Structure 1
Amino acid sequence: MSNIRITKQFSFETGHALYGYDGKCRNVHGHSYRLSVTVIGTPISDTSNVKYGMVIDFSDLKKIVKEDIVDVFDHATVFNKNTPHVELAKELSDRGHSVLLVDYQPTSEMMVIDFAEKIKIRLPKNITLHSLRLQETATSYAEWFASDNL
């Protein structure tokens, strides 16, 4: 049977600031992110399986991405924990805001790498993460492809 790619799209709102950056993005601001997750696999050929003909049930893929990414990043503010932004993060957190401290500069490029690692470990063994596309604005996005990261 043929390998088939399927894609599920997600959206979430996240704030961030790029410490040390020389442009406007050094300021705290937010984006309406759109994440496209593409996996590849062979459709289930067992006619007695309730998921016959599916590579993966879209609801199963949704559960993984929602739990590990969307529910975590949506309406949170992300800062690199290795910058002075930790002081601002603590202040926001103390005031009840959702704050994430990560080990990287929270650019789209680094976020998509983080997301790929989180998704890969949750996928069933017969399903492979093919690609991610994280759209930050209407005209700007970062992409991750498994084939580029062998």
Structure 2
Amino acid sequence: MYTAQLGHHFHAAHRLPHIDGKCRNLHGHTWHAAITLAAPTLNSDGMLVEFSAFKNVMRAWIDAHLDHGAMLGTDDPLARVLQAKGSRVFVFGEDHSPDRWPTVESVAGLLAQRAAEWLAAADPRSDAYIARVDVAETPSNSASWVNPALIYTGSSAWSHAIPAAAR
């Protein structure tokens, strides 16, 4: 099994007004996203994926939707106020995201969802897949999305669902 990890930094504000603590307030982070791709084979060029092809699509989406904007929840009244003022706002629960609040876990899930599309655009081969997405909002706070097809077998090895074309 081959893996490759591709990353990107972006700057975005968010808030979680539905919970107690400092995160109730609008605040910003320099976020780091790391997408782990996997495949049982390499492509004809001897690569899992051509890095720049994937990163170009990934960066374009993140820069257009999240970077230097605010990530807010669908029930956050601040979302409509900022949108009305012309600010970039990504609304969780509406804009490409089933999750209602911009937690670090939800950002990881959002990027995992998008990453499958970025991979298809960068390299349409059928045996490559998104294995994991790690997102850090600070150096000490991060969350991961792990592909549900990765299943712990109870032994010392992890098994995974390999697309039929790769078997």
Q: Distance in 1 between matches of 2:118 and 2:140?
A: 30
Runs of 5+ unmatched residues, structure 1: 47-51
Q: Which residue identity does 1:141 align to in structure 2?
A: S
Q: 2:49 pairs with 56, 60, 69, which one? A: 56
Deviation at 1:11, TM superposition (A): 0.1
Q: Is the 8 A contact 2:134 2:144 kept in 1?
A: yes
Q: What residue in structure 1 maps to residue 60 of structure 2? A: 67
Q: What residue in structure 1 maps to residue 112 of structure 2? A: 116
Deviation at 1:40, TM superposition (A): 0.8
SS of residue paired to 1:105: coil
Q: Distance in 2 between matches of 1:70 and 1:133?
A: 18
Deviation at 1:113, TM superposition (A): 0.9
Asked which structure has the greater RCO (Cα within 8 Å, sep 6+), the reply is 1
SS of residue paired to 1:121: helix
Q: What residue in structure 2 maps to residue 131 of structure 1? A: 132
Q: Distance in 2 between matches of 1:139 and 1:89?
A: 27
Q: Is the 8 A contact 2:65 2:88 kept in 1?
A: no
Cα 1:6–1:126 shift into 2, 3 Å:
same
1:19-38 equivalent positions in 2, closer than 5 A: 19-38=17-36
TM-score by length of 2: 0.76
| Percent of aligned pairs with the same amino acid | 27
Count of residues in Structure 1 that have an aligned counterpart in Structure 2: 139
Please tell me the root mean square deviation across aligned C-alpha atoms, in Å. 1.8
Q: What residue in structure 1 maps to residue 164 of structure 2? A: none
Runs of 5+ unmatched residues, structure 2: 94-99, 152-159, 162-167
1:94 aligns with 2:96: no
